[in-house]
Amino acid sequence: MTTLSTVPEAASRSPKGEQTRQAIVAAALDLFRAGGYDRTTMRAIADAAGVSLGNAYYYFGSKEHLVQAFYERIQVDHAAASRELLDTSRSFGEWLLGVLDAWVDVAAPYHAFAGKFFKVAAEPTSPLSPFSEESADARETSVALFREVVEGAELKVPAAIRAELPELLWLLQMGVVLFWVHDPSDGQQRTHRLVRQVVPLVDKLVRMTRLPGMKGVVGDVVDLVRSVRA
């Protein structure tokens, strides 16, 4: 199995090094959009970024490293795009709808080559899998956004569900991502419609966990989530 190494610590702390790193990422994404993932070489990326091939490999050992950087960038951009909504509303349903919609909008420029990423990431042993150890930072950034949704919204649910809900919502987003990858509609409008249909259902189901008689079901759900995680 391929293992992704980390950026050298000194380079990650250096402003100049971080500037070079971001230039390489930007060049790679531009080339992925223009010519596709498979046809883009590390040499072409280095040339577009204005760095030597050796310097490109110093920051990113392969194109897989660059995909990982893409994961991290899109999560940061997604959080930023969601910020205005999270600062104004208190409705769980509105927040969840806005956050999922924001992801589709932020990811739109990358839809043309997203299928290539998905093909690699779908392999269970791939370090590019969203469930891999190498993807932990990007995954936690996304889960943290949903944690903010759960903790900040006017939502009263059992404590056990509240604790697991951010990760469950992240898994919901993974389902949306899968649908989006295969969505050929203009501007991925089918994905936006899916989000608008799914969110009210999720909102109702989450609120139902407070109903009398649901305690056993809640416990079963929590046990299932923890068992799968283990």
Q: What is the pLDDT of residue 230?
A: 59
* Residue 6: pLDDT over 70: no
Domain extents in the chain: 7-61, 63-229
**CATH fold label, 63-229:** Tetracycline Repressor; domain 2 (1.10.357)
45: pLDDT strictly greater than 70: yes
The yes-or-no verdict on residue 61 having pLDDT over 50 is yes
**Interval 166-195 mean pLDDT:** 94
Q: How far apart are alpha carbons 82 and 77 in whole angstroms?
A: 9
Enter the pTM of the model. 0.80
Asked if the model's pLDDT at residue 56 lies above 80, the reply is: yes
* pLDDT tens column, 119-164: 777 777 877 788 888 888 888 989 999 999 998 888 888 888 888 8
Contact criterion met (CB below 8 Å) for 127 and 1: yes
Place 57 in a pLDDT band, splitting at 50, 70 and 90. Answer: very high
Whether residue 180 has pLDDT greater than 90: yes
- Per-residue pLDDT at 5: 39
Q: What percent of the chain has pLDDT over 90?
A: 37
pLDDT score at 133? 85
Average pLDDT of the residues in 93-98: 92
- Structure confidence at residue 9 as a pLDDT band (50, 70, 90): very low
Mean pLDDT score of the chain, rounded to an integer? 84
pLDDT band at residue 2 under the 50/70/90 scheme: very low
Grade residue 228 by pLDDT with cuts at 50, 70 and 90: low
For the domain 7-61, what is the CATH code? Answer: 1.10.10.60
